[in-house]
Structure 1
Amino acid sequence: MKNTFNVLIVDDDEDDQFLLKTAFEQDSPLFNLRFANDGTDVLENIDRTDFLPDLVLLDLNMPRIGGFEVLSHLKNSPHYRHVPILILTTSDNEEDINRSYELGANTFLIKPTQHQGLVELAEQIRLYWFRLAKIPTRRTNQRGT
């Protein structure tokens, strides 16, 4: 098992960011969290940093550049296509679900309406994706890292 995992959380809701941070802090030494407030923040900055995510939590409904565009960019990039992307959104629209999977999302999750539900969902994500599932490891030839 790796020493630490990089998690990129893309969500414009500061309350949701805080709750997700709280849920991941239960294993805080294992997780290095980065937050982006919208798709523009991700697309303008992801290639300018040495932060290669092991997992991305991505909201769909954000200002300026939304989640579908971010998902498409990451899954079409040779540097990021191996990174699991979990859609975490309030939408339960069948078209959004289908489009997310067509663009390469690994999972589609609907945000709970209650804060405690979001904390519990984040704990399940943490346990499943980092304890049970085997995810791709960072490749040393990517982006010079």
Structure 2
Amino acid sequence: MNESDTFRAEPAQLLLVEDNPGDIRLTEEAFEQGRIENDLHVVSDGSEALSFLSREGEYADAPRPDLILLDLNLPGKGGEDILEELKDDPEFRSIPVIVLTSSDAEEDIARSYQLHANAYLTKPVDPDAFIETIRAFEQFWFSVVRLPPEEENV
């Protein structure tokens, strides 16, 4: 693989579903320092995430995400509910969903994979380790993995 193979022609469209301002800031910082051009869109709860994906209301012009980073612990509609809805919907099923959460509970990990999460990452408490985790995620998902094309006719 040569250097040009590791970069996308268009910015990656990422949807971060996260309610913790500190984690949002660290994630933004990690992606800004990364090598992959991206547009990071942030919503703070499950209802907003579904509105973004369905392009409703203020999200009428929202892009289809190439990948979703989903916290499990959200106000209102929780991350597991969102994950289940996304993977049950043929329009959104092919979008990779990465659970990015503070929980390292075995039952949360098992349940996320049962609901067809594509990966499960536990947020490190240390800010530098958190940024390093996001960078490793970015390198893997946007330089190594082939993401599905946007489906024109669903």
The TM-score with structure 2 as length reference comes to 0.86
- Written as runs of structure 1 = structure 2, the 5 A alignment for 1:116-131 is 116-131=128-143
Aligned length: 142
Which residue number in structure 2 is paired with residue 37 of structure 1?
Answer: 44
Looking at structure 2, the residues matched to 86 and 54 of structure 1 have their Cα atoms a distance apart, in angstroms, of: 11
- Written as runs of structure 1 = structure 2, the 5 A alignment for 1:1-80 is 1-27=8-34, 30-48=37-55, 49=60, 50-80=62-92
Which residue number in structure 2 is paired with residue 134 of structure 1?
Answer: 146
Give the greater-gyration-radius structure (CA): 2
**Percent sequence identity over matched residues?**
37
Task: Extract unaligned runs of 5+ from structure 1.
Answer: none
Backbone CA RMSD of aligned residues: 1.5
Q: Contact conserved, 2:34 with 2:135, CA < 8 A, in 1?
A: no
| Structure 1 counterpart SS, 2:140 | helix
Looking at structure 2, the residues matched to 60 and 103 of structure 1 have their Cα atoms a distance apart, in angstroms, of: 12
Once the two structures are overlaid, the 10-residue window that deviates more, 1-10 or 97-106, is: 1-10
One-letter code aligned to 1:42: A
Q: Contact conserved, 2:70 with 2:101, CA < 8 A, in 1?
A: yes
| Structure 2 counterpart SS, 1:130 | helix
Task: Extract unaligned runs of 5+ from structure 2.
Answer: 1-7
> How far apart are residue 43 of structure 1 and its match?
2.0
The TM-score with structure 1 as length reference comes to 0.91
| Structure 1 counterpart SS, 2:53 | helix
